[in-house]
Structure 1
Amino acid sequence: MARPISLAAAIALSLSSTPLIAEPIKPIPQESGFSGSLVVGLSATEYSSNMIAGPNGDLADSNIDSLDDKPGSESDVSPFFTGELNYTFSKSRTQLFLGSALEDLVRYDLTFQAGVRQELADKSIVYGAYLFSAIPTEVYADPYQTGSSRDETDRASSGARIGWQGIMGSGFGVELTHRSIELDDEDSGDALVAQGAITAAQQDDLSREGDLNAITISYRHSIAQGQFLVPEINYRDYDLDGEAMAKSQYGGSLAYFYNTPQYSLITTVFYSHFEHDEENPIYGITEEGDSFGGSIVGTYHNLFGWEGFSGLATVGYAESDSDINFYDADVVTGSLGVLYRF
């Protein structure tokens, strides 16, 4: 079964390093009616994570022998799809939207959104959206269970996003996001409590449920006809129930956009640093580390002479390097697909 976006999205989100690169401001169409985009294709992914089980729950090695080792490498080839449907009210310069925007393929973001965009007199655009997980990500209910197969459980999130792009006619943009993260079964540490390795009170510090609040500030800088840079800084506060899992993360990214009538290219690099709030009861230290990576997305327009169709190719790499080996993670992915804009 095809998945929204791909497994790479789930792993990249687990790295907590997803770059929220601001796409160039998409003007609201001059005519009323429907518009949008649809992407279908095939992706190949090689990844390692001790926390993520994969969208279908059957892709990662569910049996581990030690809590001191880095995760083993897994691979997957799968179809994917993503898309967005819009309806424009041209007179009021208002647009309703539903789905997962094309730029989310660059972000490796599984979140779907339903909201409204409004063009202001200075041509800037304000927007607000409700966020939800159309397809939950599969994680391990108790990732610290060793010596036997670990059960999977759904992780979903919901929340809201507001933003303002092209503020007062400038290249600046700002975006605020709030998400609540929930697991069907949050059993982190059950096996360790049963073994007497940690107490029930310490187990509470391992909970992955809670809230995520983020702010992103970007600037679009034109450097030549059809070329521009988008530097970005961001801060995230993971206010999770487990004090050892709660963390603050700050970082930045830089995207280069190159557009011609025949093809487009987006190149992105990003880096972030994270620090957890409290000592991890399993390892006796307070976790911290760095996440980094990059991606290239290319589109070839009017594929085979078909108006509205483009060929799409992506490659990406992301890594999270923690001072606790168990939490290390990385993903390498490539995909080929077809983009249809209408």
Structure 2
Amino acid sequence: MKPYIPLASAVVLSAFSVYSVAEPIKPIPQESGFSGSLVAGLSATSYSSNMISGLGNDISESNIDSLDEGPDSESDVGFAFSGELNYTFAKTRTQLFLGNALEDMVRYDLSFQAGVRQELADQSIVYGAFLFSAIPTEVYADPYQTGTDRDETDRDSSGARIGWQGIMGSGLGVELSHRSVELDDEEAGLDLFNQGLITADQMDDLSREGDHNSLSLTYKVMLDKGQFFVPELNYHDYDLDGEAMAKQQYGTALSYFYNTPKYSVVTRVFYSHFEHDEENPIYGITEEGDSFGGSLVLSYHNIFGWQDFSGIASLAYAESDSDINFYDADVVSGTVGLLYRF
């Protein structure tokens, strides 16, 4: 068993502990001081991808025989950790925060954010944060190399996020993010170029470095005390150096929260459609496809009579289905653990 952080598990754990998946920002505490949450658990994860190598663990085969087949699934069990640390200045209604910023399960991208939240006179909250890769994702330098083991390289991202939740006292929220993505060694298509199967310009079209911009709109709809749902619309612009890898993605999601003094339920389903900008030089078509999935998190508060502790169990599934089989990816994860709030 390896001490790593499987992304899908961290996503659903974080969804419960700080409602980071869909709920508008939690109210700023009335008292100054530290607050936050920590999650620790045991997770079983199955993942498949031809592009991603891992995140401190191996999740795909380094040696492939064909560029026409989808990826094989790899499974592992390990420890999952997640959390957020806050410090509140109650008099000015300001809060500093540091923690996980987990977004896309299929991309296996674990990021952290450090920033500040400010409560306004109408009790809405504006915020800004820096985004950075505390643990770089490992990808294949040349994912299209066949017949021999592919070399791994680190994929880092950094950027910023701004948002406004509870706009004008309503349930409306908006968030903008920008990230720059860099690979230590970007060699996508090098093996095919060396074989004379693609040109240098076509190899450039496969570059995965560049910018990722996103916009999301949410609206919190109260159903009853402790019960609400949050519909979401989102847009992603992957403005990458490789024109065949650059894409536009449009999506929607729906999250449901049910909280009682003894237990809580958090569910989320999502769907998006993506279309790439230019024809892929390897396959001769312009890639497009769909991403979809869902998660369920159950929590039992004050477990074993321990105040501020909750037992949690989660299930998550996500899939990216491309019209080019090589780019398919999916993740299935189940986690049990403990959540501590302070």
- TM-score above 0.5, yes or no: yes
Q: Deviations over 1:9-42 (max 9, x none)?
A: 7999xxxxxxx84224311111111111111111
Partner of 2:38: 38
169-178 vs 25-34, which deviates more?
Answer: 25-34
Q: Does structure 1 residue 318 correspond to structure 2 residue 325? A: no
Partner of 1:149: 149
- The one-letter code sitting in structure 1 at the alignment partner of 2:173 is G
**1:232·1:254 contact (CA, 8 Å) conserved in 2?**
yes
Give the SS at the match of 2:191. Answer: helix
| TM-score when normalising by structure 1 | 0.93
Q: Does structure 1 residue 2 correspond to structure 2 residue 13? A: no
222-231 vs 165-174, which deviates more?
Answer: 222-231
- The one-letter code sitting in structure 2 at the alignment partner of 1:2 is P
- The one-letter code sitting in structure 2 at the alignment partner of 1:327 is Y
Q: 1:51 to 1:293 in 2, by over 3 A?
A: same
| TM-score when normalising by structure 2 | 0.93
Give the SS at the match of 1:154. Answer: strand
Partner of 2:180: 180
Q: Deviations over 1:148-203 (max 9, x none)?
A: 10111111100000000100100000000000001111110010001111011100
**1:213·1:237 contact (CA, 8 Å) conserved in 2?**
yes
Q: 1:38 & 1:189 partners in 2: Cα distance?
A: 42
Q: Provide structure 1 residue ranges, at least 5 long, that are not aligned to the other structure.
A: 13-19
- The one-letter code sitting in structure 2 at the alignment partner of 1:165 is Q
Aligned positions of 1:231-310 closer than 5 A: 231-310=231-310
Q: 1:194 & 1:301 partners in 2: Cα distance?
A: 59
Aligned positions of 1:133-144 closer than 5 A: 133-144=133-144
Deviation at 1:88, TM superposition (A): 0.5
Runs of at least 4 residues off by over 4 Å: 9-12, 103-109
Q: 1:192 & 1:205 partners in 2: Cα distance?
A: 13
Partner of 2:88: 88
**1:96·1:115 contact (CA, 8 Å) conserved in 2?**
yes
Q: 1:240 & 1:105 partners in 2: Cα distance?
A: 17
Q: 2:275 & 2:85 partners in 1: Cα distance?
A: 38
Partner of 1:122: 122
Partner of 1:16: none
Figure out how many residues of one structure are paired with residues of the other and give that number.
334
Q: Deviations over 1:35-70 (max 9, x none)?
A: 111111111111110001111253421110000001
Q: 1:123 to 1:40 in 2, by over 3 A?
A: same
**1:21·1:232 contact (CA, 8 Å) conserved in 2?**
no
Give the SS at the match of 1:53. Answer: strand
Partner of 2:332: 332
**2:41·2:80 contact (CA, 8 Å) conserved in 1?**
yes
Q: 1:217 & 1:109 partners in 2: Cα distance?
A: 21
Q: 1:327 to 1:250 in 2, by over 3 A?
A: same
Give the SS at the match of 1:253. Answer: strand
Q: 1:106 to 1:23 in 2, by over 3 A?
A: farther
Give the SS at the match of 2:36. Answer: strand
Aligned positions of 1:32-111 closer than 5 A: 32-56=32-56, 58-100=58-100, 110-111=110-111
- The one-letter code sitting in structure 2 at the alignment partner of 1:229 is F
Q: 1:11 to 1:137 in 2, by over 3 A?
A: farther
Q: 1:78 to 1:149 in 2, by over 3 A?
A: same
**1:106·1:297 contact (CA, 8 Å) conserved in 2?**
no
Q: 1:159 & 1:175 partners in 2: Cα distance?
A: 14
Q: 1:316 to 1:149 in 2, by over 3 A?
A: same
Deviation at 1:2, TM superposition (A): 3.1
